[in-house]
Structure 1
Amino acid sequence: MPQGILQKQMASCCVQLCVKHILLPPIKTVAMATCTQIHPCCRSTRPNIPATQTKYPHRQHIRFYSDLIGKHQLNKETTNQLQHIKNVVPLNESLTSLEATTELYALEEISDEEAINLTPIPPIPPVASSLRDYVDHSDTLTKLVQLGVNLWKLEQRPYVGSMLLRLDFDADVAPRLLFLKRIGVNDSCLGDIITQNPFFLTEDLQNLHARVNYLKSKKFTNENVASMVSKAPYLLNFSVKRLDNRLGFYQKQLGLNSANTRAIAARLPRLLCGSLEPVKENLKVCEIELGFKTNEIQQIVLAVPKILTANKRKLTEIFDFLHNTMKVPHHLIAKFPQVFNTKFLRMKERHLFLQYLGRAQYDPTQARYISLDRLVASPDESFCADVALATHEDFLLFQKTL
């Protein structure tokens, strides 16, 4: 564009803004583009602009005219000169189209009362360290917060924040929330599902339906599917082929039938999502290091599927104390595998207390037999009254001697 025409456009904008005595309202993209085009000419009229202020030129442009209107009152002679320039320099077609594209015309004259009542909209921060700075500007983030999504957790993960800002709630988020509702997921779980697996919002809806239909074809009930998705949200990110491979792996490795395989997957659906290496290692630990037979491992896994992903050190520590110190045989441990879920210190303190009282008897063929579930499952008061036949105060005093 020739320099003369560009200067005329700049002069016309200055006249309209100064004579009308208004602040620029929020400008849409077209208006912002026009301001950016005329800004280089305006910059030469502003002396001593700090280098840090040249980062966002469109904001400098708006602040420049706002400061000009707020700090300087035009005298009559200056007003007449500007009015003369206004009459000589007409608005071109680009500024006319600008008025047509803005909801509030940038060059429209308003009254003083209307100007006072104008509420400026805070600008969208170009760079921020937290998603909370964008919540007021993003309809998607606002509604996600209302659903109970924990933005603080999501912003700690790379690329998730920028992904959420690009999503449209009506086009991207709402259809997937309706999908979760249709498969039976409770409303209270929606926020947790997105917090744990925000990438679910970018999955293709056809793929999501295909994965759910596959689970139902394997005779998982609707309640099973809804519960599995709520407990393991990443389940819906895996292809049908991968889900089928995972189910086949557990059925083959554990020697289970289809019903028992479904039972394990329904109780601990993250088995279908996580790595298989810890599972393989724990199975070897149970078989080789702990010495359980195949049928005993099946019995343990069916009762406590979490043992497949449990900490190896905790498994060996509890088993060593049960088998070598308490002299509990393998088949009794397999009958009550929940003992692997207990705290080691809790079990050790109770055993030592019973041993101190002379009641540490874990052989079912002997008198005063104490089963493992009574040993570790009951609260301290019940344990003292029903198992140890002592007072809770005695148990507390004994703990201080350990």
Structure 2
Amino acid sequence: MTMASTCAQLCLRCRGLLGSKASSLQHYVQVRHCVTMTREFPQISNGLFITGNRTATQTRLRWKQQMCHYNYMTARYLSTEAKEKKCTDELSRADSVACGTPPMPSTDAVPTTQNQLSLDLDAAGEYSALEKISDEEAISISIPSSIPPASISLGDYVDKSETLTKLVQLGVNLWKLEQRPNVGSMLLRLDFNTDVVPRLLFLKEIGVEDSRFGYIITHNPFFLTENLENLQARISYLKSKKFSPETVASMVSRAPYVLNFSVKRLDNRLGFYQQQLKLSASNTRDILARLPRLLCGSLEPVKENLKVCEIELGFKENEIQHIVIAVPKVLTANKRKLTQTFDFLHNTMKVPHYLITKFPQVLNSKYLRLRERHLFLEYLGKAQYDPALPNYISLDRLVSLPDEIFCTELALATLEDFYLFQKTL
């Protein structure tokens, strides 16, 4: 009875150990597979896996975690094997005593398994994360830059780029620049001290105010890549054409793309306006100084507007000259707006060409304002624009005065009356 009870207890212990052995063996097989797959990585350098964009630090930590888990599962497996062997030996001795037969010699299964595991651990130890590596191997390790590789906004780079940080402090609108192709990548390649600072000093030397730096770079970021000698040559050319230093600084501040035009191109633009408008050099300089974007804008709208004024609107050559000298914006005005305003002035208000030439700023006024005020004066019976007749109303005052002064001085009515009349239109 005692022998049978002992055998039953040993059987129960072995059954529990066999269950834990199956679980440990499963984990051991998984870890063996993980280590095998790790050895098959394309590049291994002293325990550092160089794959894709993973950093060396992340790879070391992952290797340590794998090896720790591997060692733990191996020890657990060996412990289970030892317990199972002990249980098996005890059960074998009990059976031998009960049956009167000599016990069977133990097998070499566990030592063989231990030897195999020892070899695996030795092989894994060849790639220890703590092992020192040579300088050549350290240089070959690829470490990705802290700057994001790609982004749809320059805002993601401001904290990483000194150039972008300083440009923001200068008042540059990055959200405008990132909408333009290739500008963002260009700014990231610039060094603030070697690329940006010398050009800012150049602007300061020619008289541009510090407060205009942000506006200039926002509207013309390519100025930062221009050669300093070329920039100086262009400024010297403008001064040689008798533009004063103050005028040159004002032109650069309001039309930054002037800095990107070569001397030859600037000379061609000056010649174009002088020949097309048949103006003197002094009048040509005056027009360009007041509207410097004429130098760096397209010439096609200018040519078209000159033809419109001459052919469609019927102005004479000397009248066109007078209009352009007084209001240079007529050269770049929208063709549809220009013809609409002239049609209302000439055909509805019955204003002749010579009066329009005398007050050319009326062509640059808002069409809606001109229409509302004329209809209000007509409603009151005061729409009289002929200077030879009584109660004459100047076209200049008609479009330039604020609503309150227009009502009290020209219409002789209240502002409320004018607002009520606007609601009827």
TM over 0.5: yes
The one-character-per-residue Cα deviations of 1:179-235 (angstroms, maximum 9, x if unpaired) are 111111111110111111111111111110000000000010111111111111111
1:400 aligns with 2:403: no
1:331 aligns with 2:331: no
SS across alignment from 2:168? helix
C-alpha contact (below 8 Å) 1:124/1:134 kept by paired residues = yes
Q: In 1, distance between residues paired with 2:265 and 2:135?
A: 60
Residue type at the aligned position of 1:361 = Q
Counterparts of 1:2-13 in structure 2, within 5 Å, are: none
State which of 164, 167, 171 in structure 2 corresponds to 1:144. 167
- Tell me: CA distance 1:370–1:61, structure 2 relative to 1, closer, same or farther (3 Å): same
**What does residue 247 of structure 1 align with?**
270
Q: Please state how far the C-alpha of 1:331 moved relative to its aligned partner.
A: 1.1
Q: In 2, distance between residues paired with 1:277 and 1:164?
A: 32
**What does residue 177 of structure 1 align with?**
200
State which of 48, 58, 64 in structure 1 corresponds to 2:59. 64
SS across alignment from 1:59? coil
The one-character-per-residue Cα deviations of 1:58-112 (angstroms, maximum 9, x if unpaired) are 42543232456689979999xxx999998x97654536x86xxxxxxx9xxxxxx
Q: In 1, distance between residues paired with 2:234 and 2:247?
A: 14
SS across alignment from 1:136? coil
- Tell me: CA distance 1:72–1:358, structure 2 relative to 1, closer, same or farther (3 Å): farther
Q: In 1, distance between residues paired with 2:65 and 2:173?
A: 42
Residue type at the aligned position of 1:129 = I
Q: In 2, distance between residues paired with 1:382 and 1:275?
A: 39
The TM-score with structure 2 as length reference comes to 0.72
Q: Please state how far the C-alpha of 1:288 moved relative to its aligned partner.
A: 1.1
Residue type at the aligned position of 2:297 = G
1:189 aligns with 2:231: no
Q: Please state how far the C-alpha of 1:57 moved relative to its aligned partner.
A: 2.4
Residue type at the aligned position of 1:138 = S
C-alpha contact (below 8 Å) 2:309/2:320 kept by paired residues = yes
Q: In 1, distance between residues paired with 2:126 and 2:309?
A: 94
**What does residue 316 of structure 2 align with?**
293
Counterparts of 1:253-292 in structure 2, within 5 Å, are: 253-292=276-315
Structure 2 gap segments, 5+ residues each: 1-40, 76-121
- Tell me: CA distance 1:295–1:142, structure 2 relative to 1, closer, same or farther (3 Å): same
- Tell me: CA distance 1:393–1:70, structure 2 relative to 1, closer, same or farther (3 Å): farther
1:133 aligns with 2:156: yes
Q: In 2, distance between residues paired with 1:90 and 1:318?
A: 83
Q: In 2, distance between residues paired with 1:45 and 1:218?
A: 67
Query: RMSD between aligned alpha carbons?
Result: 3.2
1:41 aligns with 2:44: yes
C-alpha contact (below 8 Å) 1:299/1:334 kept by paired residues = yes
The one-character-per-residue Cα deviations of 1:138-193 (angstroms, maximum 9, x if unpaired) are 11111111111111111111111111111111111111111111111111110111
Counterparts of 1:64-143 in structure 2, within 5 Å, are: 64-67=59-62, 91-94=133-136, 123-143=146-166
1:236 aligns with 2:223: no
SS across alignment from 1:137? coil
Structure 1 gap segments, 5+ residues each: 1-37, 47-53, 99-105, 107-120
C-alpha contact (below 8 Å) 2:274/2:281 kept by paired residues = yes
Which stretch shows the higher mean deviation, 68-77 or 275-284? 68-77
**What does residue 16 of structure 2 align with?**
none
Report which of the two structures shows the higher radius of gyration computed on alpha carbons.
2
Q: In 2, distance between residues paired with 1:313 and 1:321?
A: 12
**What does residue 19 of structure 1 align with?**
none
Q: Please state how far the C-alpha of 1:122 moved relative to its aligned partner.
A: 8.8
- Tell me: CA distance 1:92–1:347, structure 2 relative to 1, closer, same or farther (3 Å): closer
Would you say how many aligned residue pairs link Structure 1 and Structure 2?
335
Q: In 1, distance between residues paired with 2:267 and 2:48?
A: 70
Q: In 2, distance between residues paired with 1:62 and 1:242?
A: 56
SS across alignment from 2:148? coil
C-alpha contact (below 8 Å) 1:39/1:58 kept by paired residues = no
Q: In 1, distance between residues paired with 2:412 and 2:358?
A: 25
- Tell me: CA distance 1:232–1:338, structure 2 relative to 1, closer, same or farther (3 Å): same
- Tell me: CA distance 1:168–1:390, structure 2 relative to 1, closer, same or farther (3 Å): same
Residue type at the aligned position of 2:59 = F
- Tell me: CA distance 1:84–1:271, structure 2 relative to 1, closer, same or farther (3 Å): closer
Q: In 2, distance between residues paired with 1:217 and 1:146?
A: 35
**What does residue 244 of structure 2 align with?**
221
- Tell me: CA distance 1:41–1:249, structure 2 relative to 1, closer, same or farther (3 Å): same
Q: In 2, distance between residues paired with 1:85 and 1:247?
A: 73
1:204 aligns with 2:227: yes
C-alpha contact (below 8 Å) 2:46/2:133 kept by paired residues = no
Percent same amino acid at aligned positions?
67
State which of 171, 182, 191 in structure 2 corresponds to 1:159. 182
